[in-house]
Amino acid sequence: MLSINEAKYIGDYNLCLIFNNGKEGIANLKQTIFNDKRPIFLELKEESNFSNFKVSHSTVVWFNELDLSPEYLFYLVFKEDESFKEKFKAWGYLV
């Protein structure tokens, strides 16, 4: 099961993530936060609120209890890596 071991905010809605499989990289969440119209995302448009998170329950959890699946975060980090294409299709991120 994929999980987040460490997460660090590095500015402009980017998180540096270390996964339990040893992979690490940067997930840009700006589009996710600003394009999702659900109310829980509204508070995170303020950068100081976005940077207020912790690693809990195997993923990143924000102060307002929003969490994103580790698989989605992994996808954001590695979506350009062809070696993960089949995995992302199986997870439903690619059609």
Work out the percent of the chain whose per-residue pLDDT is above 70. Answer: 100
pLDDT one-digit tens code per residue, 34-61 = 999 999 999 999 999 999 999 999 999 9
pLDDT at 32 over 80: yes
Give the structural domain span for 59. Answer: 4-91
> Residue 18: which CATH number?
3.30.2020.10
- Are the CB atoms for 19 and 3 separated by under 8 Å? yes
What's the total number of domains in the chain? 1
Task: Identify the three-state secondary structure at position 14.
Answer: strand
Phi, psi of 25 (to 5 degrees): 175, -170
Q: What is the pLDDT of residue 28?
A: 98
The H-or-E segment that residue 9 falls in is strand 4-11
- Give the pLDDT score at 94: 86
CA quadruple 6, 3, 46, 25: dihedral sign: positive
Query: pLDDT tens digits for 56-68?
Result: 999 999 999 999 9
